[in-house]
């Protein structure tokens, strides 16, 4: 567990430039005897990879902005209505803020419309045995969670509580399509394989979100996220975005 916790620290995250520096240092130490031709081959592959990865990032970022900016403007009246209903329900905070873990272990503030009662955290311990993902599961999901308010149940049914995360996409902390961001406590329980979920920028939607959402056990969710990371493309992102619409409207696995 100590090793897992150590690995979950954001300070251990290695950025792309740092990785390239380490690769250059490795070649400088052990590649001098390879000859000029191998050196040129290495440089060609290195910068081709940088160009491809950079191009994909730019296109993905442009797609995020093209979609999110109009959505924020169009949905602003919906934001105001939801905020008013939450406030009228119990007078508490409109937003629920938590800390989530993003790409390479970087933590960021994660907003949601508050869908639970004010003392939800205290009640959770008593409900742990009823966790749909197992009493000792990494994530906590409960179909008829008594902590959810009436307006919260409606929001969760259509994922309206997730709308504030459009801001995270706008500022670059999240993207439209990618693994859902976990909380630090969950990351501390990840296996080494499951930590591969942190190799990509977290997203609003993902493969398991359109395939059953909370009905899918966490180990299977992690496998699907890794599958996405290994095969991600602009076309796959567009397909998942289109599949998200009927998945949200059906409400399957939303609780």
Per-residue pLDDT tens digits for 92-138? 999 999 999 999 999 999 999 999 998 887 887 777 767 766 555 66
CA 29 to chain centre: 38
- pLDDT above 60: residue 7: no
Of residues 18 and 61, the one with the higher pLDDT is 61
Which residue in the block uniquely carries the two structure tokens 């979100």?
209
Distance CA 168, CA 152 (A): 21
- pLDDT above 60: residue 9: no
Residue 186: CB atoms within 10 A of its CB come to: 19
Q: How confident is the model at residue 58 (pLDDT cuts 50, 70, 90)?
A: confident
- pLDDT above 90: residue 53: no
- pLDDT above 80: residue 36: no
User: Which distant-in-sequence residues (6+ apart) come within 8 Å of 76 by Cβ?
Assistant: none
C-alpha angle 204-208-212 in degrees, rounded to nearest 5: 110
Whole-angstrom CA distances from 164 to 35, 152, 159, 182 are: 54, 14, 11, 16
- pLDDT on residue 181: 96
Q: Long-range pairs for 218-225 at CB < 8 Å and ≥24 separation?
A: 218/133, 218/137, 218/138, 218/139, 219/194, 221/139, 222/190, 222/193, 222/194, 222/197, 225/179, 225/196, 225/197, 225/200
Residue spans per domain, the chain: 2-13+62-250
- pLDDT above 80: residue 8: no
Distance CA 176, CA 202 (A): 8
Check: CB of residue 152 under 8 Å from CB of residue 161: yes
Length of the chain: 255
DSSP-derived letter for residue 181 is: P
Check: CB of residue 100 under 8 Å from CB of residue 182: yes
What's this model's pTM, rounded to 2 decimal places? 0.75
**Rounded percentage of the chain residues whose pLDDT exceeds 90:** 53
Per-residue pLDDT tens digits for 175-228? 999 999 999 999 999 999 999 999 999 999 999 988 887 788 899 999 999 999
- pLDDT on residue 137: 60
Per-residue pLDDT tens digits for 72-97? 999 999 999 999 999 999 999 999 99
- pLDDT on residue 10: 44
- pLDDT above 50: residue 11: no
């Amino acid at each position: 567990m100590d090793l897992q916790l150590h690995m979950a620290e954001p300070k251990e995250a290695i950025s792309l430039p740092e990785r390239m520096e380490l690769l250059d240092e490795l070649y400088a130490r052990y590649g001098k005897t390879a000859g000029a031709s191998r050196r040129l081959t290495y440089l060609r592959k290195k910068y081709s990879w940088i160009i491809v990865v950079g191009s994909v990032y730019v296109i993905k970022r442009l797609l995020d902005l093209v979609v999110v900016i109009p959505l924020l403007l169009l949905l602003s009246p919906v934001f105001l209505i939801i905020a008013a209903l939450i406030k009228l329900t119990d007078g508490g905070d409109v937003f629920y803020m938590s800390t989530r873990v993003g790409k390479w272990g970087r933590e960021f503030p994660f907003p949601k419309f508050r869908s639970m009662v004010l003392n939800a955290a205290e009640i959770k311990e008593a409900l742990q045995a009823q966790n749909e993902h197992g009493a000792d599961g990494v994530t906590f999901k409960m179909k008829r969670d008594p902590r959810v308010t009436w307006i919260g149940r409606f929001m969760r049914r259509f994922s309206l509580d997730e709308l504030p995360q459009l801001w995270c996409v706008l500022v670059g902390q999240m993207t439209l399509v990618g693994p859902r961001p976990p909380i630090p406590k969950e990351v501390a329980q990840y296996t080494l394989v499951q930590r591969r979920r942190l190799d990509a920028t977290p997203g609003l939607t993902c493969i398991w979100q359109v395939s059953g959402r909370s009905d899918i056990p966490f180990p299977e969710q992690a496998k699907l996220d890794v599958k996405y990371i290994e095969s991600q493309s602009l076309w796959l992102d567009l397909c998942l975005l289109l599949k998200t619409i009927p998945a949200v409207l059906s409400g399957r696995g939303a609780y």
